[in-house]
């Protein structure tokens, strides 16, 4: 009887373990299936190779562009635009967000500009930014900054406003100064929300940089896409697009890691 129960529970444990590993494996299976489907479609000649190049051609284009340095060159440029844009947009978003959270009147003053910027498609006014900031790296940095500014702003406001009023009272009763309140209460309390905003911002940053590159040609992965398209080099277009995906996922992963590393207390809480 006891043995049967033991076996049963062990069986259940194994089944649960299998379910977990299956769940972890599932995304990779999806990718593998898509690749197979892609290979099958192009090998059967259902769709022209110019429209959908077979995986082997894309791989060759990847190797070629890696060998002659074009891929790396354009990736580095896009990455550079994104990082400066993130730095600028997130920096300004944090500062203005904090100011608005502390002085609500600022929200009334600034909201027309912010809402107008946010509700107009960036693609529409990106040419304006090129006119103002030139066709060099500056206009791409500004495009990226504009697009990442908003999620940072909103999350900063929400994060600072949701600081517990009881903890504010505690800090006051401890005679904490403004800087101490910021450092020991507001910053750590708002950090989870701000990091969540940063995750959104990193994926938006790729859009910002690439839109900038589409509008003002010259260099970067966005430029690589347009120039390859003009030559009907579809495999290279796919390579450039996948490079953007890789950049976006890597940055997202870095922020997710920072979140995991610094919000230990939240991890413990959910366990």
In terms of CB distance, is 88 or 167 closer to another protein?
167
Q: Which of 3, 5, 178, 268 binds another protein (CB under 8 A)?
A: 268
List the interface residues with another protein, window 180-209 (CB under 8 A). Answer: 180, 184-185, 188-189, 191
Residue 194: count other Cβ atoms within 10 Å of its Cβ: 21
List the interface residues with another protein, window 32-71 (CB under 8 A). Answer: none
Q: How far is the CB of 271 from another protein (least distance, A)?
A: 9
Q: How far is the CB of 173 from another protein (least distance, A)?
A: 5
In terms of CB distance, is 17 or 104 closer to another protein?
104
Residue 19: count other Cβ atoms within 10 Å of its Cβ: 10
Site string for another protein, 225-264 (x = CB under 8 A): --------------------------------------xx
Helix and strand numbers (H, E) in the chain are 12, 0
List the interface residues with another protein, window 116-175 (CB under 8 A). Answer: 164, 166-167, 169-175
Tell me the C-alpha distance between 194 and 163, whole Å: 13
Q: What are phi and psi of 73, to 5 degrees?
A: -60, -50
Tell me the C-alpha distance between 210 and 130, whole Å: 13
In terms of CB distance, is 113 or 271 closer to another protein?
271
In terms of CB distance, is 55 or 192 closer to another protein?
192
In terms of CB distance, is 11 or 172 closer to another protein?
172
Binding-site size, another protein (CB under 8 A) = 23
One-character DSSP codes across 93-104: HHHHHHHHHH-T
Cβ within 8 Å of residue 80, ≥6 positions away:
137
DSSP E strand stretches across the chain: none
178 binds another protein per the rule CB under 8 A: no
Q: Which of 1, 105, 124, 269 binds another protein (CB under 8 A)?
A: 269
Q: How far is the CB of 22 from another protein (least distance, A)?
A: 30
Residue 189: count other Cβ atoms within 10 Å of its Cβ: 16
In terms of CB distance, is 19 or 169 closer to another protein?
169
CA 24, chain centre distance (Å): 22
Query: How far, CA to CA in Å, does 155 sit from each of 178, 199, 256?
Result: 21, 11, 16
Tell me the C-alpha distance between 38 and 46, whole Å: 11
Tell me the C-alpha distance between 233 and 222, whole Å: 14
Q: How far is the CB of 154 from another protein (least distance, A)?
A: 22
Residues in touch with another protein (CB under 8 A):
164, 166-167, 169-176, 180, 184-185, 188-189, 191, 263-266, 268-269
């Amino acid at each position: 009887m006891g043995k049967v129960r033991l076996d049963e529970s062990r069986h259940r444990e194994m089944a649960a373990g299998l379910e977990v590993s299956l769940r972890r494996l599932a995304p990779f299976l999806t990718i593998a299936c898509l690749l197979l489907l892609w290979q099958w479609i192009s090998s059967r000649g259902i769709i022209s190779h110019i429209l959908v190049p077979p995986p082997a051609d894309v791989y060759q284009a990847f190797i070629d562009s890696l060998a002659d340095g074009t891929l790396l060159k354009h990736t580095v440029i896009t990455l550079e635009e994104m990082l400066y844009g993130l730095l600028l947009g997130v920096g300004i978003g944090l500062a203005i967000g904090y100011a608005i959270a502390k002085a609500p009147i600022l929200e009334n003053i600034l909201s027309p500009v912010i809402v107008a910027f946010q509700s107009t498609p960036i693609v529409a006014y990106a040419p304006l930014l090129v006119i103002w900031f030139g066709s060099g790296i500056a206009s791409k940095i500004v495009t990226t900054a504009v697009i990442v500014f908003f999620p940072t702003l909103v999350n900063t406001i929400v994060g600072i406003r949701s600081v517990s009023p009881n903890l504010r009272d505690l800090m006051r009763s401890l005679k904490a100064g403004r800087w101490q309140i910021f450092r020991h209460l507001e910053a750590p309390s708002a950090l989870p929300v701000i990091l969540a905003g940063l995750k959104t911002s990193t994926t938006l940053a790729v859009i910002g940089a690439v839109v900038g590159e589409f509008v003002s040609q010259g260099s970067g992965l966005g430029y690589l896409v347009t120039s390859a398209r003009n030559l009907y080099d579809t495999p290279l277009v796919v390579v450039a697009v996948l490079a953007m995906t890789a950049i976006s996922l890597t940055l997202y992963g870095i922020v997710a890691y920072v979140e995991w590393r610094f919000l230990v207390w939240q991890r413990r809480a959910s366990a």
